[in-house]
Amino acid sequence: MAGALDGIRVLELSRHLAGPFAAMTLADLGADVIKVEPPGRGDDTRGYPPFWNGVSCYYLSANRNKRSVTLNLQADDGQEIAKKLIKESDILIHNFRSGTMERWGLGYDRLRELNPRLIYCAISAVGSDGPDRDRAGVDLLMQAYGGLMSITGESGRPPVRVGTSLVDLTAGANAVQGILAALYVRERTGHGQRIESSLLEGQVSWLTYHAVSYFANGEVPERLGSSHASVAPYGAFPTSDGFLLVAVASDALWRRFCEAIERPELLADACFTSNALRCENRDALAGVLNEILSQDTAESWAARMDAAGVPCSPVNNIDDVLNLPQVAHRDMVVDMPRDDIPDLRLPGVAIKMSDTPGSVRTPPPDLGQHTAEVLEAAGYDTAAVDRFRDSGVV
Amino acid sequence: MAGALDGIRVLELSRHLAGPFAAMTLADLGADVIKVEPPGRGDDTRGYPPFWNGVSCYYLSANRNKRSVTLNLQADDGQEIAKKLIKESDILIHNFRSGTMERWGLGYDRLRELNPRLIYCAISAVGSDGPDRDRAGVDLLMQAYGGLMSITGESGRPPVRVGTSLVDLTAGANAVQGILAALYVRERTGHGQRIESSLLEGQVSWLTYHAVSYFANGEVPERLGSSHASVAPYGAFPTSDGFLLVAVASDALWRRFCEAIERPELLADACFTSNALRCENRDALAGVLNEILSQDTAESWAARMDAAGVPCSPVNNIDDVLNLPQVAHRDMVVDMPRDDIPDLRLPGVAIKMSDTPGSVRTPPPDLGQHTAEVLEAAGYDTAAVDRFRDSGVV
């Protein structure tokens, strides 16, 4: 079966994670993605350790299913080549700072004249206008600037970074959503449009209940370790041999939980009869549960809770997760050999489509691996490509 | 201007956050979303504190732009009404456990016969098949099960939950991407299809460089507080009056950073001349920088780094973020009064589209507010609706 985006061409003028991950998602869904990188060094992430047979794992993780073309976008010839490629593209993704593309003659107003069907997606730190528009965006910074770090970590301890670059990934996911919606609109109207996604806006949108709670009562949420502001019991509880996570998110689950731990008398305790009361009496509840759960092993409690349908989980390490039979069953780890990395493995495609399934078809490319192929298909002859190479344009 | 999804009808059979947030995203983009809730109690989140004039902030945060219909899907009449609504829908989103919809006669194979254009999206904990398919999914649990908690927190301290329900939100974002891709495909083929998104798979996919690094070298990543495995200096550094986050993600930035802090001699230090070396000598580098940065205030250092174009940030609290002029400028906080909450405010739409912009049009509905309206439009008369109400079907 063909991919959902078969026949769609994406020009990716981006680096780091948000833009590359967005473009990779479109590539996974079947699009032909041409990644444009600066000659010589390429995407900065090509220099990030650790390396797998000399290739950055960071780079490898966000660039499969793409072709790589080098292009110096600061050179006039580079801009001309880019325009030629843009004429034949459906989607352009960039994550340069606000104003950079315009300086290169590649702003949306100019490109729309060249290609009215173009869907132009700008990924930035905080959006293309507004008082902070020149702010640079990197994941850690935006985890701090966007408030996420302030609510992640233990109570009374310093804020911590979320272990993945999730602000970048959120902005990438929002970009893809805007692009796909625009592609649907284009099928109906014939016109492309400009999409924006930013690291700050993605985070504000994902603050969800924290934002609304703050608007409601003016209280600023704080760090809660592994517990939850509005659900209890919900969090890590110590057993005799390690932490067990328990998530009792409804009153029905509270009943099953009390039965699973063989403490039906808790159901009658007036302090705990509703989620609101359990939140209010959170500390007393934790005291009771810590004492009960520390009397047996995590595995033993988990077996009882699983049998009763009470959600619980061990804290899996990355190796535990990637070796889960469930993960293998769902094709979430795929082998994708490269000549120089014959045992290359990558995470699979999380967006599952029955009739137009996503796929991992080609490994992440070497820098400029497809420069000649793409330029020649765009009408440049071999001699021209050689001249561009000699002059540092590609 | 009309929204991208004007004229698209979504039936949301879901609760908590992943499904509701996915449906809300489609609603923000213009879709008519009918949220189906159990009569009496509705979406579990309606009971989650804190409350704003009696309405749950959690519920308010994920359900604007929707209509609410109550329907007992366990009753035959409820299933018949659902099928009637499904015949007239473009998209169905549910987040029931694997097998539940099938038990109610609402599995995809059955519904496809009723409506071949239907895009059917199942959001689950780990996917609809595989050895763990019956696992329940709640955000905290999946943060632990999917490995994210194991890499979030301080070195040598317990794992912590990410402060937002980001596993739910990721699964919701993946669902929306699959749905929009399917909508695009349907414009070309005329056929709907089945989409799946799961909390586990979303997390595995977002492990990105952690997963590939583990495949490369077998090393299991650990908690690093606010630093980063493959970039340095990157993290929180103490100043004389609080933490400042610094993100020096390239060698060019390292040069600017050393100049901004007026320590050009660091550029000549053989331990720090490349990002790889700075990662290798991370502790020595932190020692040097802690000593330098603790000699002045966060604001003073930030001003110098901003001037030099070095990415840095304070740790903003939620109130800092939501009151940023940039956030207001970008319409990321919107007033959306409800009769009973005249000052209701909600986060704005992060996916920015130039020609078919998203919008916040109506506040989150009361439970069953649109039951009569929707059922009557589907062909039931007032007497029938009253009978359904009396018998607990709606």
The 3-class secondary structure across A246-305, one letter per residue, is EECCCHHHHHHHHHHCCCHHHHHCCCCCCHHHHHHCHHHHHHHHHHHHCCCCHHHHHHHH
Distance CA A238, CA A215 (A): 34
Q: Is A44 on the interface with B (CB under 8 A)?
A: yes
The confidence band for A73, taking pLDDT boundaries of 50, 70 and 90, is: very high
The string over B236-259, giving b where at least 16 C-beta atoms fall within 10 Å of a residue's C-beta and e elsewhere, is bbebeeebbbbbbbbeebbbbbbe
Nearest CB to A159; choose among B62, B170, B315: B315
Q: Is the dihedral of CA A147, A151, A152, A158 positive or negative?
A: positive
Which residues in A lie closer than 8 A to residue B219 (C-beta atoms)? 50
Structure tokens at A212: 């609304």
Q: Is A209 on the interface with B (CB under 8 A)?
A: yes
pLDDT at position B141 is: 86
Q: How far is CA A337 from CA A1, A64, A363, B32, in A?
A: 22, 11, 7, 45
Distance of residue A381 Cα from the nearest chain B Cα, in angstroms: 35
DSSP state of B39: T
Average pLDDT of A119-123?
Answer: 98
pLDDT at position B234 is: 86
Contact B313, A147 (CB under 8 A): no
Nearest CB to B318; choose among A150, A314, A344: A150
Contact B208 A347 (CB under 8 A): yes
Given A28, A43, A139, A168, the catalytic residue: A168
Query: Considering the entire predicted model, what is its pTM?
Result: 0.92
Residue type at A91 in one-letter notation: I
What's chain A's average pLDDT? 95
pLDDT at position A126 is: 96
pLDDT at position A227 is: 80
pLDDT along chain B (394 residues), means of 10: 93 97 98 97 94 97 98 97 98 93 96 98 96 85 92 87 95 98 97 98 97 97 84 87 85 95 95 94 93 92 92 90 97 97 98 98 98 98 97 97
Structure tokens at B198: 């799961």
Contact A178 B351 (CB under 8 A): yes
Contact B48 A275 (CB under 8 A): yes
Read off the pLDDT of residues A169-208 as tens digits, 9 standing for 90 and up: 999 999 999 999 999 999 999 999 999 999 999 999 999 9
Q: What angle do CA A66, B176, A167 make, to 5 degrees?
A: 65
Token pair 């995809």 is found at B108
Token pair 């009960």 is found at A292
Contact B73, B106 (CB under 8 A): yes
Distance CA B267, CA B272 (A): 7
* DSSP β-ladder status, A352-353 and A242-247: unpaired
Closest CA to B176 of B43, B369, B358: B358
pLDDT at position A98 is: 84
Distance CA A173, CA A175 (A): 5
Contact B185 A230 (CB under 8 A): no
Domains and CATH numbers, chain B: 9-206+324-390 (3.40.50.10540), 234-316 (3.30.1540.10)
Contact A154 B160 (CB under 8 A): yes
Which residues in B lie closer than 8 A to residue A188 (C-beta atoms)? 187
pLDDT at A299 over 90: no
Contact B179, B165 (CB under 8 A): no
DSSP state of B47: G
Region of poorest pLDDT, from A84-88, A111-115, A237-241:
A237-241
Q: Is the dihedral of CA A297, A298, A304, A307 positive or negative?
A: negative
Read off the pLDDT of residues A79-98 as tens digits, 9 standing for 90 and up: 999 999 999 999 999 999 88
Closest CA to A132 of A70, A181, A199, A219: A199
Distance CA B280, CA B131 (A): 41
Read off the pLDDT of residues A340-357 as tens digits, 9 standing for 90 and up: 999 999 999 999 999 999
The confidence band for A1, taking pLDDT boundaries of 50, 70 and 90, is: low
| Interface residue of B10, B169, B217, B332 to substitute, partner A, most A CBs within 10 Å | B332
pLDDT at position B1 is: 62
User: Which amino acids of B are annotated catalytic?
Assistant: 168
Give the H/E segment covering residue A123.
strand A119-124
Contact B318 A21 (CB under 8 A): no
| Interface residue of B61, B162, B312 to substitute, partner A, most A CBs within 10 Å | B162
- Burial (CB count <10 Å: 0-12, 13-18, 19+), residue A190: exposed
Contact A15, A45 (CB under 8 A): yes
Structure tokens at B353: 């589209």
Distance CA B185, CA B239 (A): 54
Decide: helix, strand or coil at residue B131: coil
